[in-house]
Chain A
Amino acid sequence: MEEVPKTTCTSWTAQQAAGNFSNNSTGRERRHPGNTTTGLVTPVVIGSGTNDPNNPIPHQTFKREQDQYVPIANVIRIMKRILPAHAKISDDAKETIQECVSEYISFITSVANEKCHQEHRKTITPEDILYSMEKLGFENYIEPLTLFLNKYREQDMERNSVLAEPFTRRAVRFVQPQQPAPIAPAPTMPTVHHQNYIYPSAINNYFGQTMGGNGECSSSSGAGPTNAEFNPYAQFK
């Protein structure tokens, strides 16, 4: 049975009626968000009651929702690290690997989730993931992952530590309001999750020097511009 080629645009009326029209069109077909991650071309009935229960449209279409995959650019970059310089990768191979990654994540997560469930826990932890990997035959990943995780946790502890100046923190996508630190090194700082760091660019400006406390600080400058607008220390200027 020949599948519908992925690059064919299909059934826009059905999609519009279903209200599933989203703006992340890449010219590829999209998949109904409720679908499983397995199989690119699983036929989906659109309009099966999401927006208009009185008038279901029994159309079938093949969609590929990019949100269900890791970005293909990242996949390609990792592949190229492995392959020799002269190697080429076909587009369908890139997409296939991209799908395999999502399937891999789902697969491991399901097993990890089952373990949590059996042990009456609600949160999937890294340990659950490592356990699942071992169980499913990926035991050779355990060591590098454990090293990676330990290293990450060490750095996380450093960043959260009371001794670390508030200026060594970094911002991420969002910043939560927190009490501004006094100018002098504070004896205590609110312990914050590493997601809530404030980018030190404001502090840099204030003190007129780069915070070169540790290597992490200087390497953060690359991530700077997007976070420079937020200036919780403005009152200290």
Chain B
Amino acid sequence: MRQPGAYSGLLAGGISGKTGPHSLPLARIKKIMKNSNDEVKMISGEAPIVFSKACELFIEELTKRAWMMTLQAKRRTLHREDVASAVMNIDIFDFLVNLVSENSGKSEDPQPVTEA
């Protein structure tokens, strides 16, 4: 388990090592980066570190937005549908549209329609 205050540790400069107070494991981030594209060859050592922070910010933003949907529905449990609604509502999350609509079991992909 990570020690408490890992987040504040980051801001206060308590970065003591690769396995230290980063919220997300750097090796895993690196693996995901490499999986994204066969052409990705080399990744600077600092890149996963930037991503660990960026993903934190991303999770926080997505969670906040999803929670707003939960509140609108007068619930206290955040469901996948709330995440999906948040994704639909926000432009910068467009790249997630397929992901959340696949997961929700509904096909939101526009089907090709032949005009008669």
Which residue numbers of A lie inside 8 Å of B, CB to CB? 1-3, 37-41, 67-71, 74-75, 77-79, 81-83, 86-90, 92-93, 95-97, 99-110, 113, 117, 122-126, 128-130, 133, 136-138, 141, 144-145, 148-149, 151-155, 170-173, 193-195, 197, 215-216, 219-220, 222-223
Specify the chain B residue showing the minimal Cβ separation from A158.
Answer: B13
Chain B CB count within 10 A is highest, among A40, A100, A106, A153, for A100
23 contacts between A and B (CB under 8 A): A37-B36, A38-B98, A41-B103, A71-B25, A78-B23, A78-B56, A79-B63, A81-B60, A90-B78, A97-B66, A102-B32, A103-B99, A108-B51, A109-B40, A123-B42, A125-B44, A128-B47, A129-B47, A138-B54, A138-B58, A141-B54, A151-B11, A155-B15
- The docked-state distance in angstroms from the alpha carbon of A86 to that of B55 is 24
Residues on B with beta carbons closer than 8 Å to the beta carbon of A154: 13
Least CB distance from B53 to A in Å reads 5
Q: A105-B55, A113-B37 are in contact. List 10 more A-B contacts (CB 8 A).
A: A70-B32, A87-B78, A93-B78, A122-B41, A124-B40, A129-B50, A155-B13, A170-B20, A195-B45, A223-B16
Least CB distance from A203 to B in Å reads 16
- The docked-state distance in angstroms from the alpha carbon of A129 to that of B67 is 28
- The docked-state distance in angstroms from the alpha carbon of A160 to that of B59 is 32
Interface size range on B against A? 35 or more
Find out whether the CB atom of A97 lies under 8 angstroms from the CB atom of B44.
no
Find out whether the CB atom of B51 lies under 8 angstroms from the CB atom of A129.
yes
Find out whether the CB atom of B7 lies under 8 angstroms from the CB atom of A81.
yes
Which of B28, B36, B58 lies in contact with A67, CB distance below 8 A? B28
Find out whether the CB atom of B77 lies under 8 angstroms from the CB atom of A124.
no
Which residue numbers of B lie inside 8 Å of A, CB to CB? 2-3, 7, 9-11, 13-20, 23-25, 28-29, 31-33, 35-37, 39-47, 49-51, 53-60, 62-64, 66-67, 70, 76-80, 82-84, 87, 91-92, 95-96, 98-100, 102-103, 105, 107
Find out whether the CB atom of A93 lies under 8 angstroms from the CB atom of B80.
yes
Residues on A with beta carbons closer than 8 Å to the beta carbon of B2: 77
Residues on A with beta carbons closer than 8 Å to the beta carbon of B64: 82
Find out whether the CB atom of B39 lies under 8 angstroms from the CB atom of A89.
no
Specify the chain B residue showing the minimal Cβ separation from A147.
Answer: B11
Specify the chain A residue showing the minimal Cβ separation from B56.
Answer: A78
Residues on A with beta carbons closer than 8 Å to the beta carbon of B41: 122-123
- The docked-state distance in angstroms from the alpha carbon of A141 to that of B58 is 9
Given A88-B77, A133-B54, A152-B15: A93 touches B83 (CB 8 Å cut-off): yes
Specify the chain A residue showing the minimal Cβ separation from B82.
Answer: A93
Find out whether the CB atom of A223 lies under 8 angstroms from the CB atom of B19.
yes
Specify the chain A residue showing the minimal Cβ separation from B80.
Answer: A92
Find out whether the CB atom of A74 lies under 8 angstroms from the CB atom of B25.
yes
Find out whether the CB atom of A126 lies under 8 angstroms from the CB atom of B60.
no
